[in-house]
Amino acid sequence: MPPGVLLVTGGSRGIGAATARAAAAAGWSVALTYRDDEAAAAAVVADVEAAGRPGLAVRADVAEEDDVLAAFAAAETLGPLTGLVANAGIVAPRARVDELTAERVRRVLAVNVLGAVLCCREAVRRMSTRHGGTGGSIVLVSSAASRLGSPGEYVDYAASKGAVDTLGTGLAREVAGEGVRVNVVRPGIVETDIHASGGQPDRVARIAPSVPMGRAGRPGEVAAAVLWLLGEESGYCTGSLLDVAGGR
Ligand code: NAP
């Protein structure tokens, strides 16, 4: 399927912003969501438009069903939706499992798991031939944490990404006969603000030397993998888990 209309959740910064920019360059019209940073979202939309593609930004917390519905409705003003990158995700401050609060775990699971499921549901309702759609492509942004487990750091986050991997595996098989492909990208450590948001601004500098390639990844390197999975060149891939992690 050629590029059409793409929704990128968490498209205002980091991996999502790089994905939105790369998608516009590849010919997609791009709707993106953000949670707080309106100025960053507007800057990404300006870049999408500078690439000659329509773009828009919607404030939406993916953990809130009404926000997700509003985001999909806004995206559809650009045309029929054929792509989703479920990228929005959060970490929490470093903690052992024996220190976790229910409130924190609830929020991590709500954004990373419930948010991804709700977005997939809305995408399938629009893309699947079962629902009168013409097909589409979904990419879930998980993490190498799903196989590393993040001990001593955030096992709850790692577990949420394990759920994202399984969501991708199951949904891919569920809709494979309905024109919808579903794939998962698992980044390793990538240079974005997410580490500071979890109270570890030095995390990239600390961990990068232990990555087999000796460095952190760049958002654009993850975006390139996402774009490949979204597009026609990966047309026989569904249910794939693609590690973009420098060998980690
Ligand atoms: P980031 O730089 O912190 O950006 C997060 C993006 O998600 C922002 O656009 C933010 O919006 C948005 N967002 C946060 N909470 C949201 C919510 N509840 N609802 C909707 N949008 C929300 O993060 P990133 O590093 O690019 O991470 C993107 C994805 O990659 C996440 O799923 C993360 O788990 C995954 N990942 C990242 C790394 C890494 O090392 N960076 C590694 C593995 C996996 P605002 O700008 O408005 O806050």
**Spacing, Cα 111 to ligand 1 middle (Å):** 10
State the distance between the two ends of the chain, measured CA to CA, in whole angstroms: 32
Both tokens of residue 211? 């990555």
**Spacing, Cα 239 to ligand 1 middle (Å):** 22
Residue from 7, 8, 15 to probe ligand 1 pocket by mutation (most atoms less than 8 Å from CB): 15
Residue from 192, 241, 243, 244 to probe ligand 1 pocket by mutation (most atoms less than 8 Å from CB): 192
145 Cα nearest atom in ligand 1: 43
Say whether 120 sits in a helix, a strand or coil: helix
**Spacing, Cα 131 to ligand 1 middle (Å):** 30
Report the candidate in 118, 111, 53 with the shortest Cα–Cα distance to residue 84.
Answer: 118
Secondary structure E strands in 29-134 = 29-34, 55-59, 81-86
Report the candidate in 174, 171, 166, 172 with the shortest Cα–Cα distance to residue 142.
Answer: 166
**Spacing, Cα 27 to ligand 1 middle (Å):** 23
How do the pLDDT tens digits run along the chain, 248 residues long? 689 999 999 999 999 999 999 999 999 999 999 999 999 999 999 999 999 999 999 999 999 999 999 999 999 999 999 999 999 999 999 999 999 999 999 999 999 999 999 999 999 999 999 999 999 999 999 999 999 999 999 999 999 999 999 999 999 999 999 999 999 999 999 999 999 999 999 999 999 999 999 999 999 999 999 999 999 999 999 999 999 999 99
Q: CA-to-CA distance for 15 and 248, rounded, in angstroms?
A: 18
Q: What is residue 137's predicted lDDT score, i.e. its pLDDT?
A: 98
Axis crossing angle, helix 115-127 with helix 65-75, rounded to the nearest 10: 40
Q: What is residue 172's predicted lDDT score, i.e. its pLDDT?
A: 99
- Cα distances (angstroms) measured from residue 13 to each of 8, 71, 78, 155, 226: 11, 17, 21, 24, 15
CA-based Rg of the chain, rounded to a whole angstrom? 17
Axis crossing angle, helix 14-25 with helix 38-50, rounded to the nearest 10: 20
Q: CA-to-CA distance for 70 and 49, rounded, in angstroms?
A: 22
Q: Catalytic: 236?
A: no
Q: What is residue 2's predicted lDDT score, i.e. its pLDDT?
A: 82
Residue from 58, 87, 107 to probe ligand 1 pocket by mutation (most atoms less than 8 Å from CB): 87
Class of domain 5-244: alpha beta
Q: What is residue 128's predicted lDDT score, i.e. its pLDDT?
A: 98
203 Cα nearest atom in ligand 1: 40
**Spacing, Cα 122 to ligand 1 middle (Å):** 20
- Continuous segment of H or E residues that includes residue 198: none
Our CA dihedral for 117, 123, 125, 130, rounded to 10 degrees, sits at -110
Q: Where does ligand 1 bind, in terms of residues with CB under 6 Å?
A: 9-16, 33-37, 40, 60-63, 87-90, 111, 141, 143, 187, 189-190, 192-194, 197
- Residue 122 in contact with residue 136, Cβ under 8 Å? no
